[in-house]
């Protein structure tokens, strides 16, 4: 999962030290402003399609 503090593997069932060792080479994945823009555009597009199509 990407968080503002970086990448967090939430379903990894080992110790914190093993998690740090295994995921040390993953680049820092952080939530950026573009992610919020993408979410907003996706939500607006969904609403437009849902309201514009009577069959949904």
User: What does the pLDDT read at residue 16?
Assistant: 76
Cα dist from 35 to 2, 5, 8, 45, whole Å: 10, 14, 17, 15
Which pLDDT does position 50 carry in this prediction? Answer: 87
| Tokens encoding 8 | 């967090």
Indicate whether this model's pTM tops 0.75. no
Q: What would the pLDDT profile of 26-53 be if each residue is shown by its tens digit? A: 766 677 889 899 999 999 999 998 888 7
- Number of structural domains in the chain: 1
Greater confidence, 51 or 54?
51
pLDDT tens figures, 3-25: 777 777 777 777 878 877 777 76
Which range of residues forms the domain containing residue 14? 2-52
């Amino acid at each position: 999962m990407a968080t503002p503090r970086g990448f967090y593997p939430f379903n990894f069932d080992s110790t914190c030290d093993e998690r740090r060792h295994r995921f040390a080479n993953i680049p820092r994945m952080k939530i950026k402003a573009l992610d919020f823009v993408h979410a907003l555009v996706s939500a607006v597009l969904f609403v437009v399609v849902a309201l514009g199509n009577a069959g949904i």
